[in-house]
Amino acid sequence: MVIRIASRGSELALWQSRAVADALRAADSALEVEIEVIRTTGDRIQDVPLAKIGDKGLFTKELDNALLAGEADLAVHSLKDVPTRLPDGLTLAAVTVREDPRDVVLLPPGRAGGLDALEPGARVGTSSLRRVAQLRKLRPDLQLLDLRGNLNTRLAKLDRGEYDAIILAAAGVLRLGWRERISAYLEPPRWLPAVGQGALAIVCRTDRDDIRAALAPLNDPATAAATAAERALLRSLEGGCQIPIGALGLVDEGQVFLAGLVADTDGSRILRVHQAGAAKDAEAVGRAAAGELLAKGAGEILEAVRARVGAPEPAAP
């Protein structure tokens, strides 16, 4: 049996697709696995802030189309990029064991320390409104600049002196072998990552029982439950991947513990919630957390953010 994986072409995306290919071969030595590179809208548009583009399938739409057209058998994504409502005919078939979900601070070579080590007015690069909101709450004196491009491009911009620091997801940095470049980890629950951050999502057609069976050994139940709670929160808020919403679920002894936040982009108002429940009811835990956030005024914050940044509405993953 030959399995064709649809993948973005960045070094990180290819690392992720190769990891899935290796896991498939390990689970069934009879499988042949090929990787097909497909360029997405998010890869093509590099000179516009993500929140301005609109985020519904920004990094997934073209791969989804390849699956639906029968040009590939499965697609590998960073789960944080995957809409919570998949196109008809597609399903989230597996969620892999999660890498470190935290955000990290990277500084130029020879520098050390975290956010507290940055001087007033330091230039910090990030493309995420979620990170912007949390940075403005913690360090309103910093100069926050948009940062686009794949991880290699972002690191090169830092090393050329275009930024004094950049904020990235730990998972991508670690997967590319750059652990030594991490200056500090931004610790939950004070700082929350993107929904699904650190986990890989494997998507296939709903009618491909053969592919779903091949992917079953790759699914990690604990990661699937934790991220299901996070994604239910996001879906209930109709927030979109580029709106300032953060969440982190943890599973322990059959329970899922979920921390979530909604923030205004200027950091003036950050709403936080904590919910817990049975891991088998992970989505209900996420919906309850979203309901608590809405009761605290999250809807007004999200509406104001959309109006300010021009993000499409609802534009929900």
Q: What local confidence, expressed as pLDDT, does residue 110 receive? A: 84
Write the pLDDT tens digit of every residue in 242-253. Answer: 689 999 999 999
pLDDT of residue 148: 85
Annotated catalytic residue 81: yes
Q: What is the predicted pLDDT for the residue at 55?
A: 52
| Per-residue confidence (pLDDT) for residue 149, from 0 to 100 | 87
The residue annotated as part of the active site, out of 55, 64, 81, 264, is 81
Question: Which DSSP string corresponds to 242-283?
Answer: TSSEEEEEEEETTEEEEEEEEE-TTSS-EEEEEEEEEGGGHH
- Rounded to whole angstroms, the Cα distance separating 79 from 101 reads 11
Global confidence as pTM: 0.90
pLDDT for res 203: 98
Which residue from 152, 150, 168 is spatially nearest to 160, judged by alpha carbons? 152
**Per-residue confidence (pLDDT) for residue 56, from 0 to 100:** 52
Over residues 144-197, the pLDDT tens digits come to: 999 988 899 999 999 999 999 999 999 999 999 999 999 999 999 999 999 999
Q: What residues of the chain score a pLDDT lower than 70? A: 41-58, 239-242, 310-317
